[in-house]
Amino acid sequence: MGATPRPRAPRCRLCLAILLAILALLLLYLSARSLGALSGCESGAQFCMPEQLPFQVRPGQGWPESPQWEEPSCLGPRGMLGRMMGPFRASLNPKGDVELSQYLAGWRELIKFLSPLGSIFAFATSEASTKVADLEARVHSPDAAHYTSLAAMTAWERQAGLLEGRGAAPPHSGSRTLLLLHRALRWSQLCLHGVATGEFGGPDAGEQCSDAYRKALGPHHPWLIRQAASVAFRAFPGRARILELTCPGTKETAARAALARAAGTLEDVYNRTQSLLAERSLLHLA
């Protein structure tokens, strides 16, 4: 008897595949496969330093702070931005390294900050939480002595052979996990800086963050994902709403200055981490 022909897959399966591809957008900036060249270098390059980040917001720049300027409570130790900035600043130790426990604590606060900003962050922040939990488990594992800082971690994992091999199933390592968080941090800081410094009456927050996506991530994603991103950013909260969530009860100019300062802190952490990874030729590890 001849083989019975297999029935054709229902058309709804194609619809489901497209839907899943769109949902994959929400994980785009933490995907080890898709983000191989997020540093700004061409894929497969042996080594390069990425372009300098396009902002340097510090006191005296952007919106000058007059002697009468009162720091918003959101920058204080109990404020949303203050809780995020504190551990990230503490992660930058005087020896030029990055302390992992403080870095991860900063990420926990960043996730809390991003979560209310719309559905586009829902799955992304969930994935970030998984990455943070993975590294926290290493920081508190029997091998904790090797996971005190970025330099200590990468040195030990290289010696243990965990940084060798790429392809379909490279060895699971803390260094790869941190690289994915590092890439996500760049997109976050570009987005937040755009919200903080966008011209009055100019492009709104969704357009600012969408532009950051097109510059940093879009070139590395297939057409379907780029189109899905374009649609998703249309539902992004407006600048006024983000500033209200960031610094409740604060005037827009002061809230913008506070958010710009927070973006500057993320920039400092990103630049320190970028330098350490570049020195160790680990920017293309994942």
Average pLDDT over all residues of the chain = 76
Query: What is the spatial distance between Cα 276 and Cα 118, in angstroms, rounded to a whole number?
Result: 33
pLDDT band, residue 101 (cuts 50/70/90): very high
Residue position matching structure tokens 């504190």: 86
Query: What is the spatial distance between Cα 282 and Cα 234, in angstroms, rounded to a whole number?
Result: 35
pLDDT tens profile 148-193: 999 999 999 999 999 986 655 677 899 999 998 998 898 888 989 9
Query: What is the spatial distance between Cα 11 and Cα 124, in angstroms, rounded to a whole number?
Result: 29
| C-alpha distance from residue 110 to each of 131, 153, 195 (Å) | 13, 23, 16
Task: Judge whether 50 and 215 are in contact, CB under 8 Å.
Answer: no
Q: Which CATH number is 72-162+171-279's, of 1.10.10.60, 1.10.3520.10, 1.10.1200.10, 3.40.50.2000?
A: 1.10.3520.10
Backbone torsions φ then ψ of 198, nearest 5 degrees: -60, 145
Higher pLDDT, 72 or 231: 72
Q: Does the pTM exceed 0.85?
A: no
Higher pLDDT, 3 or 80: 80
Phi-psi bin for 64: left (phi > 0), alpha (psi -120 to 50), beta? beta
| Lookup: tokens for 155 | 């040195």
Q: Which of 273, 70, 65 is nearest to 179 (CA)?
A: 273
Question: Tell me, what's the pLDDT at 27?
Answer: 44
- Overall average pLDDT of the 193-197 stretch: 92
